Amino acid sequence: MTVDFSRVLVVGTSPVNCVVVSKIVERCGLKPLSRSPEAAAKAVLALAPGVVVLDGADGDAHELIDALQAMRHATADTVPRIILLSSRNGSPASLGSPDMVDAVVTKPVMPERLQPLIENFAAQVRS
């Protein structure tokens, strides 16, 4: 699987949050791709982004989680790097997030918090 390190998949049900996150991704010099949770499972495997920003982890996102796990397995567990946007504060483990979540950013999403994470993860997956 060839990973496109210039792409960041933004997954969420709120169009406003997707636009905010997409603008932050653009500030990092990367290409955002916004998808609903339903469409994101197919997009993960087709587009192979280096980073995924997931707005919430609802119980109905099982297909997406399965696709992310499949991509990680195909790339030796390194990509995509996954950032969870949450209304609660805490670590991925304390929030009951899937094991593969690499970082949590508490809402409201601020460029000062999200942009450094995206830049850091994008640099990690490139090397």
pTM of the model: 0.90
Cα separation, 76 vs 60, whole angstroms: 26
Cβ count within 10 A of residue 98: 16
State the CATH class of domain 4-126.
alpha beta
What are the extents of the domains in the chain? 4-126
Write the pLDDT tens digit of every residue in 57-105: 555 577 888 888 888 888 876 789 999 998 887 766 666 666 788 888 9
Cα separation, 46 vs 101, whole angstroms: 20
Write the pLDDT tens digit of every residue in 48-69: 999 999 987 555 577 888 888 8
How high does pLDDT run on average in the chain?
87
